[in-house]
Amino acid sequence: MPLQVICAGYSRTGTLSLQQALDILGYRTHHGMSVLTDPSQNASIWLKAYKNPGSVEWEDAYGDYDAASDWPTCVFYKELMERYPESKVVLSVRSAESWYKSIQKTILPLVQLRHMGNMMPERVRQVRETWFGTFVRGHKMSLNDISILFDRKKMMQMYDAHIEEVKRTVPADRLLIMSLGDGWEPLCEFLGKPIPNRHYPVSNTGGDFSSIFWTAMKRSSRFGKKKKSKTTASRTSAATATVVPTGTSNKQRLTNDEGAAAVA
């Protein structure tokens, strides 16, 4: 299915609210968490797009979604614009300072879990590798070097550079620039949709991000378990039970069950 709406705003820029708004308007909207929570998503496609630009069939990446927001879409917006020339682009913006404060409360705490790769489902490892390679424009991070994420000045410069690049790149007749709080009117006018009889959604605040993330992580972990159960249906429950080493604490057990790891 062709993408009709491409949201080029950088991750954590009111993107979940925008996703929910597009869903209300009748779109099926891909979001960063979709790569983890939607079993039809193939995380290896995004890794391929990062490692071998130009080699991806975008219909395979998005499936039956017809709108997309957040990371990883914002990283590949140029390729997507070219592939879908009839699509419209929405750029959500805020001050670089408020954006960085937002990721300080949400994404950066999860970065501390980066060394737990041996506990991650394969899907999550692939998403994490793509994230480390693409989240900071022009800078490929590694598990041992994430210092740029905590460099406020560089991160704010990177954010502003992305905003200006989108403005230069996207033709004016295809671009809507939205600030937080703009609400329904500019979005609906741009997309040719009637204004819904309900408030514009407000979500993705610092307080609820952790819950959203860990819910996504649990769902992603279950995909692997379901797949494994199909291939081992003839085995006894004892053979298929999860083995936890002797002496493992309750906290570690919970971590294992959740597939604890961070995309960030």
Confidence check: pLDDT of 7 > 60: yes
Find the CATH number of the domain harbouring 65.
Answer: 3.40.50.300
CA dist 145 and 164 (Å) reads 27
pLDDT at 177: 97
More confident residue, 33 or 113: 33
Check whether 253 has a pLDDT greater than 50: no
Within a domain: residue 100?
Answer: yes
pTM for the model stands at 0.76
pLDDT tens digits for 37-95? 888 888 889 889 888 888 888 999 999 999 999 999 999 999 999 999 999 999 999 99
For residues 27 and 66, what is the distance between their CA atoms, to the nearest angstrom? Answer: 6
- 12-26 tens-digit pLDDT: 656 678 889 999 999
* pLDDT(226) > 90: no
d(CA 11, CA 149): 13
In a domain, 52, yes or no: yes
Counting the structural domains of the chain, the total is 1
Which residues share a beta bridge with 176?
90
Q: Is residue 62 part of a domain?
A: yes
- Please answer whether residues 13 and 106 qualify as being in contact, where contact means their C-beta atoms are separated by less than 8 angstroms: no
- Tens of pLDDT, residue by residue over 101-134, are 988 888 887 776 666 556 667 777 888 888 888 8
What residues make up the domain containing 99?
5-223
Average pLDDT over residues 229-256: 36
